[in-house]
Amino acid sequence: MDTNCQIRATGAAVTGARHLRTARNGQDAVAVWIGEAQGAVVVCDGCGSGGSSEVGARLGAQLVVAVLARELAAGESPADLAMWMRVRAEVVTRIGELAAAMPGDRARIIHEHFLFTVVAAAVAGDHAAVWAIGDGAYTIDARTRELGPFADNQPPYVAYDLLEMPQEAHLEVTSAAGGGSIIVATDGVAELGLDAIAIERCLAHPDALRRRLAVLARGSENIEWEARRVVRAPAPLQDDGAVAILAWRGRPS
């Protein structure tokens, strides 16, 4: 990253303690892009009941950030709902093409591999915005908003578009004037709160955010010598977690 650039961003994803115990892959993913005067970050969370939903989450994060990068570099604004609709449409099309190339029942393939939530942030020109489908959380204008929980623990997924069950998306726009920052997170991290994330430290040290999440995903042990026992505390981050930070100095031009 060019540290002199007005746009700064970082992101990290780790496997939570619950999945570490059962030797399962982490189902959360993150993607980051920085342009000349634009930037975008994305976190995705794979559906817990999908046997291979980490596939969709990782592909989804990369697809969303790639389409955002193209749109923003072409001069589109994060404040424009039509831009986000184009991002959504292209991501769904790409997922559909992958599902069509795989053997077996189409609906089963989508449920097994491609159900994931999205929380994305972008900044360019006069505006910054957060766009989301599903649960998670974000901090914008020094205010945190949680997305969900949803009824029956069933958040909306962008891939439901392929099953003729389109879900409502969330969009919040803010001014980019004077500088600012946005944090986006999957629901595992959202449960712990976003206030403790040290934005400047994470941006200054490329691995700081991942290390912080890795510590949260580990339990602790303390020895009480007089009682001759070991006291174990569970890991705070039981679920998988992904966080991304997008920050800018001054008004991106």
Length in residues, the chain: 253
DSSP secondary structure of 192-229: T-STT--HHHHHHSTTHHHHHHHHHTS-EEEEETTTTE
What whole-number distance in Å separates Cα of residue 145 and Cα of residue 125?
Answer: 24
Residue 253 lies in a domain: no
Task: Give the Cα separation of 169 and 150 in Å (integer).
Answer: 13
Flag whether pLDDT at 96 surpasses 50.
Answer: yes
**Tell me, what's the pLDDT at 62?**
98
Q: Is the pLDDT of residue 12 over 70?
A: yes
Domain that holds residue 218: 7-248
Task: Give a yes or no: residue 193 inside a domain.
Answer: yes
Question: Over 50: is that where the pLDDT of 133 sits?
Answer: yes
User: Is residue 99 a part of any domain in this protein?
Assistant: yes
pLDDT computed for residue 46 by the predictor: 94
Asked whether residue 205 is domain-assigned, the answer is: yes
Q: State the pLDDT at residue 3.
A: 40
Distance CA 135, CA 183 (A): 14
- Which range (88-97, 102-111, 208-217, 228-237) has the least confidence? 228-237
Span 91-99, average pLDDT: 97
Residue 189 in any domain: the answer is yes
253 pLDDT exceeds 60? no
pLDDT tens, position by position, 178-225: 899 999 999 989 888 898 899 999 999 989 999 999 998 887 777 778
The CATH number linked to 146 is 3.60.40.10
Q: Hey, how many other C-beta atoms are within 10 angstroms of the C-beta on 199?
A: 18
- What is the structure's pLDDT at 239? 85
pLDDT in tens, 19-42: 778 788 889 999 999 998 999 999
State the pLDDT confidence band at 5, using cuts at 50, 70 and 90: very low
Which of 120, 190, 118 shows the shortest CA–CA distance to 160?
A: 118
Which whole-number Å values give the CA distances from 10 to 89, 216, 226, in the listed order?
26, 18, 45
Over 70: is that where the pLDDT of 251 sits?
no
Q: What span, in angstroms and rounded, lies between the C-alpha atoms of 85 and 142?
A: 27
Based on the structure, what is the number of domains in the chain? Answer: 1
Question: Does residue 2 lie in a domain region?
Answer: no
Amino acid at 3: T
H/E run at residue 132: strand 127-133
In a domain, 108, yes or no: yes
The partner residues of 6 in beta bridges, in order of sequence, read none
CA separation for the pair 3, 215 (Å, rounded): 26
In a domain, 1, yes or no: no
